[in-house]
Amino acid sequence: MGTRLYPVTKSQPKEMLPLGTRPVIHRVVEEAAVAGISDMLVVTGAGKATIEDHFDPAAGLSPEDAPEDAPSTVDLSNLQLYYTRQGERLGLGDAIRYGAEFAGAEHFAVLLGDCVMEGSELGGPMKRLVEAHATNEADISILLQHVSLEATSRYGIIKPGAALDEGLFEIADIVEKPGPANAPSRYAVAARYVFSPTIFDYLDALEPGHGGEIQLTDAIRAMIADGKRGVGVPLREDERRLDVGNFESYSRAFFRTMLTDSNYGEGLREYMRKLLAHIDDPSEPDPDSVEA
């Protein structure tokens, strides 16, 4: 619902907030495209119609309207997007159930639309996740980020099992938002998953869990308990998850994307150095004043 970003999200979904030169959801779809995904079902809900407009070539500005120096983006023309709406906000596990027919008998990926994976290679983490899922013949593969002990109350946390090749490991258990006292590790679920369609049977059998919601984490836990194979894929040191859930994390994500942008980064870093010097010591020139 984006309540932590009110009033910015009063009438626009957080997924449409700009992250540098494009909306967050645009970057998420780019990640999927780079990972070789050709068909995507976007599960939206009330108040999220602008997401559909954004990807509709007939709505709003057309590519011909773009200025010559418009930022280059990943080619999404081979990606087919479909939409459905979650009728009631019953939780992440419930939202994923809307994809059951779409996925059919195929393994499928889940990408949450309010954060992006950033690193030296665009879409690198998502690509590795998809590959790891196939190579290890997994039923569940999850991208993981290392978090502080305090932060374990904000994420699904996994218990690592046996080590696999290339820094991957089996998932022995998973628990939703356990907090420091009960966290089985500091490996947090980082908003990207690949599943076998078996997960839909487990989602259908769930009762509401943490926060009264149908929790995806609970379905994964039940699958693992039944002996299904879960594989954890940690983000590498040069990769990170940028989250837009609140003003601080959104600002950090925005700064980082713009300050490292290939077109604008250099100029903005220079501006930022001057601005910080001025904020720390107002006798330093203000980069926004005419004299500077």
Shortest separation between residue 92's beta carbon and ligand G1P, angstroms: 5
Closer CB to ligand G1P, residue 95 or residue 258? Answer: 95
Shortest separation between residue 143's beta carbon and ligand G1P, angstroms: 8
Closer CB to ligand G1P, residue 139 or residue 258? Answer: 139
In SS3 terms, the chain reads as CCHHHCCCCCCCCHHHCEECCEEHHHHHHHHHHHCCCCEEEEEECCCCHHHHHHHCCCCCCCHHHCCCCCCCCCCCCCCEEEEEECCCCCCHHHHHHCCHHHHCCCCEEEECCCEEEECCCCCHHHHHHHHHHHHCCCCEEEEEEECCCHHHHCCEEEEEEEECHHHCEEEEEEEECCCCCCCCCCEEEEEEEEECCCHHHHHHCCCCCHHHCCCHHHHHHHHHHCCCCEEEEECCCCCEEEECCCHHHHHHHHHHHHHCCCCCHHHHHHHHHHHHHHHHCCCCCCCCCCCC
CB-closest chain residue to ligand G1P: 156
Closer CB to ligand G1P, residue 189 or residue 206? Answer: 189
Shortest separation between residue 191's beta carbon and ligand G1P, angstroms: 3
Shortest separation between residue 193's beta carbon and ligand G1P, angstroms: 9
Residues contributing to the site for ligand G1P (CB under 6 A): 92, 112, 155-156, 176, 188-191, 216-217
Shortest separation between residue 173's beta carbon and ligand G1P, angstroms: 13
Closer CB to ligand G1P, residue 103 or residue 189? Answer: 189
Shortest separation between residue 114's beta carbon and ligand G1P, angstroms: 8
Closer CB to ligand G1P, residue 31 or residue 176? Answer: 176
Closer CB to ligand G1P, residue 21 or residue 249? Answer: 249
